[in-house]
A = this chain, B = another copy of it.
Amino acid sequence: MKIVVLKFGGTSVGTIEKIKKVTEIIRNYQKKKYKVIVVSSAMKGVTNDLVKKSKEISGNFSDSEYDVLVSSGEQAACSLIAARLIHLGIKSRSWLAWQIPILTRGFHKNSRICQINKNKIVKYLKEGGIPIITGFQGINNDDRITTIGRGGSDASAIMLAKFFKAKRCIIYTDVEGVYTTDPNKLKRAKKIKVISYEEMLEMASLGAKVMQPVSIQDARLNRIDIEVKSSFIKKPGTLITRRSNIINNKIITGITSTYNDAKVTLIGVKDKPGVAASIFRPLSSNSINVDMVVQNISSNGKETDLTFTIKNEDLNKTRKIIVNNKNINFRKLLFEKGVSKISIIGVGMITTPGVTFRMFKSLANKKINIKVISTSEIKISVLIDKKNTKKALTALHKEFKLDK
């Protein structure tokens, strides 16, 4: 069977009119002789409304009942899609996670799909039906409804694609695909036609909010081609696939930037095993998100300087926690608000020498000072003054020919 999994997010099914459009998309795949499996999120706004109610009931709402509550949103959306297809004369029905079943492991609100029973759905596909499956949920061994913590309906779609060996998994959303950089920050940003899992992972963790990293990782492990595209505009989206499937690679695929970051530097930290953990544990337990971390051994080999970035608004809290931390010794504490992290990402840099130099030169030409540098195999990140963000994005976008 030539199976395709189509996933529709909350905005794609946000109104009755949009649901009608979605069913046209589904119908077109059927016309192309695909066996179509549909996964849907709840209609936009529905989940938020249910979550609001849960907060009014209790500040400590039961996790298992939370899953029962919010999963009702997908149930309603799937029945509306299926009924519209039936209205159009197409064989279709909703399949709730417990009816298949989709089995999960882990805690409520944070489960992961571990098994999907294929029998009923395969039979239904062979009969020519289009199953509309509730995303974001499953059941556990006790027959209780669970929801998928990270990745949500995207994760459901990837796992369905895996178990049913789908040719492709198409994530329909409210953007046209993945861009070379945030189009809201740089008008010249271009849609990326094809990107590797690894690059997409870096882009996702760095702020391109198209898909959750956990779902991309699942797709990578199972070698599932993902296409991200708009459910409203009929244009090709972005294909996320294996590196070996990508020809004519550009050196750099995308550029990301953060905003409103603050830089914290501890000078002369006594370098002993576990010191980093001593610094970061209390920050983590106070829900302070630490992003970039850079550490240098100082000349005498006994001390180290440690720099990391946090959100601006966490600065005061962080300062207090570090000053009151009895488990660490350091000579000096430096803070700087209003910094921005610029990252260039591309598998091409592995085989192309001089990428780092080109990045630094390009920024130097614009008189942009680099405060901190951090690199990985397919990514180079630098910290600069927040006010230079747009100038840096423009310069790098041009330097690595992403405008073309």
What residues of chain A have their CB less than 8 Å away from a CB belonging to chain B? 16, 19-20, 50, 53-54, 56-58, 60-62, 64-66, 68-69, 71-73, 75-76, 78-80, 82-84, 86-87, 93-94, 96, 98-99, 143-145
Contacting residue for A78 out of B20, B68, B94, CB 8 A: B68
A144 to chain B: which residues have CB within 8 Å?
99
In the assembled complex, the Cα of A58 lies from the Cα of B88 at a distance in Å of 9
With A16-B53, A53-B16, A143-B99 known to touch, is A60 a contact of B87 (CB < 8 Å)? yes
How many subunits of this chain does the assembly comprise?
2
A83's partner among B54, B76, B145 (CB-CB below 8 A) is B54
Instruction: Choose among B19, B50, B58, B96 the residue that contacts A87 (Cβ–Cβ < 8 A).
Output: B58
A16-B56 contact in complex given A62-B83, A82-B62, C-beta closer than 8 Å? yes
> What is the distance, in angstroms, from A29's C-beta to the closest C-beta of chain B?
20
Among residues of B, the one whose C-beta sits closest to the C-beta of A132 is B65
Chain B nearest CB, measured from A87 CB (Å) = 4
Whole-angstrom distance from the CB of A89 to the nearest CB of chain B?
Answer: 11
Contact status of A65 and B94, CB under 8 A, knowing A57-B80, A84-B57: yes
Complex Cα spacing A57 to B82, Å: 10
Given contacts A57-B80, A62-B83, A62-B86, 13 further A-B contacts (CB under 8 A): A19-B57, A54-B80, A57-B84, A61-B87, A65-B83, A68-B75, A68-B78, A68-B94, A69-B75, A69-B79, A71-B75, A99-B143, A99-B144
B94 touches A79 (CB 8 A): no
Are the C-beta atoms of A93 and B65 separated by less than 8 Å? Answer: yes
Please name 16 pairs of A and B residues whose Cβ atoms are closer than 8 Å in the assembled complex, sorted by A: A19-B57, A53-B80, A54-B83, A57-B80, A57-B84, A58-B84, A58-B86, A61-B87, A65-B82, A65-B94, A66-B83, A69-B75, A71-B75, A72-B76, A96-B145, A98-B98
The CA-CA distance from A99 to B143 in the complex, in Å, is 7
**Shortest distance from the beta carbon of A134 to any chain B beta carbon, whole Å:** 10
- Which B residues lie within 8 Å of A20 (CB)? 57
**Distance in Å from the Cβ of A144 to the closest Cβ of chain B?**
8
* 7 closest Cβ pairs, A-B complex: A58-B87, A68-B79, A65-B83, A72-B72, A69-B79, A16-B56, A65-B79
Inter-chain contacts of A84 with B (CB < 8 A): 57-58
